[in-house]
Chain A
Amino acid sequence: MQVSRIHSKTKVFAQLLCLGLPTLLLAGYFLRFANNFYTILENDFIKQTIYFGVGLVAAFIFYAYRFRFVTTTLVLFLVFSTIHFILQRLAFGEFNAFFASVHFLIFSILFLFGWITGYGLSRSIFYTIAWPVFLCGIQIFFVGKTTDITATKLIIAFAPVLFYTLFIIYTAMLIRNVDEDKQKLKWFISGRVLGFLLLVCLALAGILYYFQPQFKAIEKEWTARAKAKEGKGGGQSQTSMTTTNKDGSVSNANSTSLTSSLSKNQKLIFVARLDNYFPDSITPNPLYFTSSYYTKFDTAIQAFEIDPKMPDNDLFKPDPSTIPLYFARTDSTVIKNSHATKDRKIVQAEVYAVLLSPNEFIAPATAFYCQPIPVPPAFKDVYKSAYRAKMWVSDLNSAYFIYNPANNPALEDFQQERFERLRSVTSYAGVPKSFLDYYTDMPSDPDYDSIRTLATTLTQHAHTPIDKVLAIRDYFLSKDEFGQPLFAYSDNPGIPGLPSASKLNYFLFQNRKGYCAYYAGATLFMLRALHIPSRVAAGYLTVDRSSKNPGWYWFYQNQSHAWVQVFFPGYGWIDFDTTIPDVNTQQSPQPDGTPPLNMQQPFLVADGNIQSIDTTKKLLTLSVNKLLFHDKDYASPVSVPILLDISLATISRDTGVVNIQALQRNMHITAASYAEALKNSMAAPNDSIAGIFSKLNKPVPIDEIKIVVAAAKNDKTAGETVEKKSGKLNLLKIAIIFLLACLLVLLLSPSLIWQYYHTKVRTSTTHPEQPFFVHRALSFYLHQLGYQRKAISPHSFATKLDEALDTNITSFSDLYQKWKYSNTRLSDAEFNSIKPFYEQSIQQIKRKIPLKKRILAFIHINRTFHYFKNPKISSYESE
């Protein structure tokens, strides 16, 4: 049985070099990437690339013969399956057999994949075209999933695959079509491939340069997302109490304008556990979760705004993503600024963010403590980040207290009891005037006079601030002469009839339909009209719907809310919600999820910068500045390095779980370990970080890593990135200039070579040099102009030249041959005649051949290559 060849050995060699090698390199690149995702691959991408390569090369060689693909591959598959089957049943230790079979499985899959690719590139046109386009699609998908979004990195990640796509299609077509009988086949293929490489490089550089602004725009957007906490988002046609960031996360909107409609939906934002119970310690007492306070009203844009300069700022607003895991940030000044001394206690809450932006901190008022905690591994898919908060909470605050208790007698009693307590506040004497002036400020526009009048009318029988608040609340709940509710909840309050009219006036006196911001805004102005210090709080209303998990609350986007806080001396800011109950909110989905219970407590939490990282062995050296060891804090002014084993670690950042590639040198991270091995290692009372580390076995196994992005550093990093980007841009420009320069040098090379010989003729005066260079210069000049000697004798060639150009080259040629091949030296007369002959000949050639033709001939690089490639034919010297 004789099997004939399809491809010759030369073709197979060309295939291996031009198709196999780039494919192998790309496979290595992809496998390296895949190793970061799949643990089963065990970070051995070099070996895996070799497996793939063996399959690829074997297929190239095998399918150079006329073997059928389907049957031969089926046989191979059966052989591999049999070996795998046997390996699985070998009895030399179950564990070893398992690993051997897994290794063999990886080998056989990669080998077969290489085999199929080798066949496809060697024999199938369909595969040759479809395969690179398929790879292109895969890479688009992977690059799209990247967490490190910079224009340069995106281009660097994608350009090689794009390049490969074009290169493989062209090279495969070229090799397939080239005739094996062609002379100088290798030169032909090399020339074509190099030419095409140059073309692709230039074209891709141009295309990517053209698209660079769009890559930069994406990078900018991503950076903007990181800065979303500073609150510059928005831009939606509909107003929402929340802002959707570019990554899909949600932050509270920084201003709540009174526009015609409010968009709300049913997306879960976060889940929280709140340790606030009624005195019976069983019944959960929900609290509203506050995000920010709106203390100023901008009449120009008809919107409430956050004022960072509000007096006695009691808003604790840390960025949890910048705080190392398990390390807390506390601000006790907010407790002081709350001016609350009566009926207050410390309450703890844990917030697990789903769509909530990782930069956002939300907790019931008045929060003063934030400690990022890890999300339990089982819940990593649902929750992106988590933190623990502690609040200075008033006993008088409750979601039931401010919300309509809906005919629940126990809660109504509870409300009444608390109202009674607040009735003890009858005036604001003793409250600083600046504080009062700020929180009772309202526009002096005549439009607001009607609100003042209304407020006064409504509260004419109320004497204490709490009664005035309740009177306003009751007004919104009151009914008209027909027994119908006076006010209604609406997400679409409509457009004001008069363009100049205040929207609040329109709401209060005409439309009487609105959403929370309308009620809160109207209440605020009425209270301020009555000189009661108040502000609008924004956040999430808490609805206790979970009977299964007491103390756990689910927050959906439609629970984003605005309400009023009223200041009572001694009691501080107390929440009041005057919004008419929203039917839609009451119909929010029942929480049916499992709360993310976190039972693990870390034995070691190390915070510092990455000194070095080995992604292959999954080892990391961390320069530790702060340490939490068995719940005890340690800090050191000098960084102490420690080797960590991160093979089992879950790495996360603001956006959720990321792969090991996200870790880079000098990056600020927090590493936590729950390893049992650390349980018994205890620190001595006077131990330093270095002392504790010396007691631990290295590498220390790590279970959690959180990448910390410091806010201050962020800006710096952004600056550095811009600098880096401009550096990379410069590099690209330099590369293009370099390429163009190379091209120019290449085009000018015939002229430069000619100038070299010409100068040499002029400068050489010695006997052996001059005839040689005259001959060299003349032969090169003529060769470049298209007069090639080919296979005829020097004398015949010279005669032909003389006939064509009217020169006297024959005499020089004879003289040169004599000088070269005989031992006699040239006579002085002969020697002296060489230079004049040369100059005359050159002049004569120039006269005969027009300048345009000479210029065109001197950019003909192929002739130059040919001159040096075949010296035996094209020059006199080697004869």
Chain B
Amino acid sequence: MKFYILKNSYAYLIFNVQFRSFIYLSGMAISFMQRKTRPFLFYIPFTVYFSIYIIALFLLWLLVNKQAHLPESSFTAIITLLLKVTFATAAFFLLFSFITTLIPFVYIWLVKKRGKLVCNFGLTENNQSANGIPQMALSIAPVVKPLFGFLKFRLRYNHENFSPKFQPISQSGFSIFQKKYSAVFSWQLPEIREYAVQEGWIYFEDLFQFFSFALSLPLQEQFNYPPGQKNIPPVSIPANKTDEDNHRVDELKKVEGEYLNFKHFEGQDDIRRIAWPVYARSRELVVRIPETLDTYASQVYVYTSCYSGFPGENNSPVGKHFLNWYKTIIWNLIKDIQEKGFRLTMITDQHPHPDDPQELTELQSLIITQEWQLALSLTDFVHVQNASAIIISSLCPVEQVQDLMYRRKETTLFILVKLSTVIRRNHLLHLLSWLFIQQEKNEIEKARTAWTLSLNRLAILDNEKKLQTLFQQNSKTLIL
């Protein structure tokens, strides 16, 4: 009881709010400082390998020198000399590394200072490599490569995001004094979204990668990271009659009453409809199902909702990963519908497209720009009587979906994109595999850890389960 009072006291409330604010603001401040100071760290002229090497040499000196306790003996004299030789060799190669890296750096610095540096950066002609990752091309002229060394790059995109340091595949042949450096690289990006590269850095690294001299490059490029290909089951979406009858589809669409299939003969069926050729082949009496053809029933209104009832996850690794998956599924659905020849109208709860995009690239751009949002709820956004299909995610509150289902048109298809299946939690078998296999440190792994630790996980799973039950109880639903 006492505890209850304390927990609900005003003082506790004030303390809790203040404390939470402090933690939040501190975190923000640290994050801000990190973002602001990080670019300066790129200019540190040596690498962590250099530090390891120096420490190793120091330990070597410390340990070997400690052994040389026999004064005036050959042992001491020899190890002292061998240490000298070791350190002289190390010094020579460090100097060699330093000079061979510094010269190309100074050269390009002077060229840049005189405004004669030419940089080109952009997507390659193919745009993507075989696995759908954007492929970028980069060229710089003039440039001198460090002797036996490496040229590496880093990019700044979408304001304060930095790519890891990477080494592109050089397209130039081997030459020390090459005038132009051209290279391509596949950029594995974390999210399906628009990207704007705003700055780049070129790193001159020596043969041992002990020294690293960075120079800022004026690189600019905007591009989209598109959703990938995903096989989804064929979806049959009932089309509406077009608003304007001037759009005729090339393919006839099945509407109610079409002769498309056969069914077994029943007592009430018209015997004139018996398909005798089928009987001749299979000794089964079947009758044709009546069909009607409507060449103008081609308009499909697809509502895609990014409404999230779990704001805590909107910008978390889990939310980002869910969004990638959601966008991929929407994109593949839309592509499928478009390929069937429907006149598609995609209505999103953000950035409504005034021009009613029909081209795939335009639709793709529209999907890519979607984000989880809180502003427009599902019930406010979907025009139920008009909708051919409504795509929702597991983050959509079940109450809103329930409401829509209650008001829906009979033919409207509800599609639920299950998100929990994207991130598999570590079960016992996975734990075993985790013990022995080191997973790649990528976004999926980050999301998996965040998902395991997420406070919203149970609530999301519960919501998803309820949605699943709701979908199973109703007809014209699809769970993906």
Contacts and interface: CB of A to CB of B under 8 A. Distances in A.
B93 A203 contact: yes
A143 B175 contact: no
Interface of B: 49, 52-53, 56-57, 59-60, 63-64, 67-68, 70-79, 81-86, 88-89, 92-93, 96, 148, 150, 167-170, 173-175, 207-209, 429, 433, 435-440
Given A137-B63, A141-B79, A149 B167 contact: no
A66 B174 contact: no
8 contacts: A66-B437, A129-B49, A134-B60, A154-B78, A173-B208, A218-B77, A221-B74, A221-B77
Contact of B52 (A130, A146, A149, A218): A130
A158 interface: yes
Contact of A166 (B68, B93, B169): B93
A174 B49 CA distance: 13
Given A3-B437, A173-B209, A203 B84 contact: no
Contacts of B439: 66
Kindly state the interface size class of chain A when it binds its partner. Answer: 35 or more
A208 B53 CA distance: 22
B142 to A, nearest CB: 17
Nearest to A123: B438
A125 interface: yes
Nearest to A131: B56
A18 B238 CA distance: 64
Interface in A222-270: 222, 225, 244, 246-248
B310 to A, nearest CB: 32
Contact of A149 (B49, B78, B148, B168): B78
A1 interface: yes
Chain A at the B interface: SS class: helix
A170 B72 contact: no
B82 A143 contact: yes
Contact of A179 (B63, B77, B78, B169): B169
Given A158-B82, A211-B84, A862-B175, A130 B56 contact: yes
A191 interface: yes
Interface stretch (A67-75, A664-672, A762-770): A67-75
Contacts of B68: 144
B52 A214 contact: no
Given A196-B148, A214-B84, A145 B174 contact: no
Contacts of A66: 437-440
B73 A188 contact: no
A140 B83 contact: yes
Given A66-B439, A166-B89, A248 B70 contact: yes
Contact of B64 (A71, A141, A158): A141
Nearest to B85: A211
Contact of A133 (B53, B76, B429, B440): B53
A179 B168 CA distance: 8
A196 B93 CA distance: 11
9 shortest A-B CB distances, which residue pairs? A144-B79, A133-B56, A144-B78, A140-B82, A137-B60, A144-B75, A68-B438, A129-B52, A179-B169
A143 B76 CA distance: 11
A134 to B, nearest CB: 8
A198 B89 CA distance: 15
A196 B68 CA distance: 33
A181 interface: yes
A40 interface: no
Given A125-B52, A191-B174, A68 B437 contact: yes
A208 B429 CA distance: 57
Given A72-B436, A140-B82, A203 B169 contact: no
Contacts of A133: 53, 56-57, 59-60
Interface in A821-879: 862, 866
A195 interface: yes
Contact of B78 (A68, A182, A218): A218
Contacts of B167: 177, 179
A169 interface: yes
Contacts of B78: 143-144, 146, 149, 154, 218
Q: Most chain-B CB neighbours within 10 Å: which of A141, A145, A191, A225? A: A141
Interface string A798-821: 000000000000000000000000
B429 to A, nearest CB: 8
A207 interface: yes
A221 B75 CA distance: 12
Nearest to A136: B86
A215 interface: yes
Contacts of A126: 52
Given A125-B52, A126-B52, A173-B208, A204 B89 contact: yes
B72 A248 contact: yes
A41 interface: no
A207 B96 CA distance: 13
Contacts of B49: 125, 129, 173
Contacts of A181: 169
A238 to B, nearest CB: 14
A140 B75 contact: no
Given A66-B437, A208-B85, A203 B56 contact: no
Given A67-B436, A246-B74, 5 more contacts: A134-B56, A139-B82, A149-B74, A162-B89, A244-B72
Contacts of B440: 4, 66
A196 B96 CA distance: 12
Contacts of B93: 166, 203
Contacts of B75: 144-145
A244 B64 CA distance: 24
B430 to A, nearest CB: 9
